[in-house]
Amino acid sequence: MELRVEQLIAGYPGHRAVAGVDLTVPSGEVVAIVGPNGCGKSTLLRSIARLHQPESGRILAGDADIWQLRQRQAAHRIALLPQSPLAPEAVTVAGLVRYGRHPHQGLFRQWSREDERAVGEALRATGVAGLADRRLDQLSGGQRQRCWLAMVLAQETPVVLLDEPTSALDIGHAVEVLDLVREVAVAGRTVVMVLHDLAGAARYADTVVAMKDGRIVAQGAPRDVVDSALVRELYGIEADILQAPDDGSPVVVPAARHAAAAVAAR
């Protein structure tokens, strides 16, 4: 399902966080939104997820404006994994993933074989089926993040939103999560994720969207937009941009300020 954001304006009292953003995400692609702290990327994601009411503009999932839908209808189209999700105390992995089926429940529709199938597929897709009976609080950070992703996948929405899915993970677990994100897109879902890690965005996203001061300052394929000028504009630092030997994706190598000063002094 294609996701479109049209002239979106959103903010808070006295502060405009998103200033007229246009964005199109084709079905089955991964878009990574990057930029410095306070640039508006999380507010944009929260607006798409119906957690922050925009001032104006439209957000369309397929042919429907999500802010014109009922909450349950929107939850059939878009699922969000927030940056710091909270789980009920002592919940098991299977119990957590079952929460993803909540939008499919109702007064006349209780737990079904279809729900059980969706939960089982999500557990297997994220590699945590063997942990189904374990308590979430007994797992490592990487395992927990995969369990949260399983919950989102169990919701079976065509659009998946991820807010900093690799935060607080070591490089090994971060790679596992981003590999899983790619698999989700290959399976046909549309993925929009906010990342602080520009290198990870360049490696795993089909499109990088760079934001600054509430506006998009660059967007396109990573090898077309990730360069030293963009790093300088976003973060105020110098960086060398190398190419990954296997696929040519950009590799960002920040220049240490003390090293640059030593070279200048020669």
Domains of the chain plus CATH, in order, are 3-77+157-265 (3.40.50.300), 86-156 (no CATH)
Average pLDDT rounded to a whole number, residues 34-38: 94
Confidence of residue 169 (pLDDT cuts 50, 70, 90): confident
Distance, in Å, from the CA atom of 158 to the CA atom of 172, rounded to the nearest integer, reads 28
For tokens 């959103």, the residue is: 10
- The token pair at 190 is 């549309």
Q: What are the residues whose beta carbons fall under 8 Å from the beta carbon of 226, sequence distance 6 or more?
A: 198, 201, 202, 208, 241, 250, 252
Report whether 33 contacts 44 (CB < 8 A).
Answer: yes
Average pLDDT, integer, range 242-250: 88
Neighbours of 173 (CB within 10 A): 18
Is a pLDDT exceeding 80 seen at residue 256? no
pLDDT score, position 266:
56
Instruction: Determine the average pLDDT of the residues in 190-213.
Output: 94
Query: What are the φ/ψ torsions at residue 86 (nearest 5 degrees)?
Result: -115, 135
Token pair recorded at residue 152: 């989102």
- Give yes or no for residue 102 having a pLDDT over 70: yes
User: What span, in angstroms and rounded, lies between the C-alpha atoms of 187 and 245?
Assistant: 26
What pLDDT digit, counting tens, does each position of 64-85 carry? 999 999 998 999 999 999 988 8
Give 259's pLDDT tier (boundaries 50, 70, 90).
low
69: exposed, middle or buried (Cβ count in 10 Å: 0-12, 13-18, 19+): middle
Place of tokens 């399983």: 150
Q: What is the Cα–Cα distance from 31 to 261, expressed in whole angstroms?
A: 36
**Residue 36 pLDDT > 80, yes or no?**
yes
205-236 pLDDT per residue, tens: 999 999 999 999 999 999 999 999 999 999 99
Instruction: Give the model's pLDDT for residue 168.
Output: 80
What is the DSSP pairing of strand 190-194 with strand 159-163?
A: parallel
Residue 139 φ then ψ, to 5°? -100, 165
Give the pLDDT of residue 104: 82
Predicted pLDDT of residue 156: 94
* Residue 148 near residue 96 (C-beta atoms within 8 A): yes
Beta-bridge partner residues of 33: 194, 209
Lowest mean pLDDT among 94-108, 132-146, 190-204: 94-108
Q: Please compute the mean of the pLDDT values over residues 28-33 and round it to a whole number.
A: 96
Pairing type for strands 30-34 and 78-81 reads: unpaired
- Answer for the pair 173, 180: CB distance below 8 angstroms, yes or no: no
Closest CA to 100 of 170, 157, 56: 157
% of the chain at pLDDT higher than 90: 74
Q: What pairs with residue 3 in β-bridges?
A: 25, 61
Q: Is the pLDDT confidence value at 130 over 90?
A: yes
Q: What is the pLDDT of residue 167?
A: 85
- CA-wise closest residue to 146 among 184, 119, 173: 173
Task: Supply the mean pLDDT for the chain.
Answer: 91
pLDDT of residue 112: 84
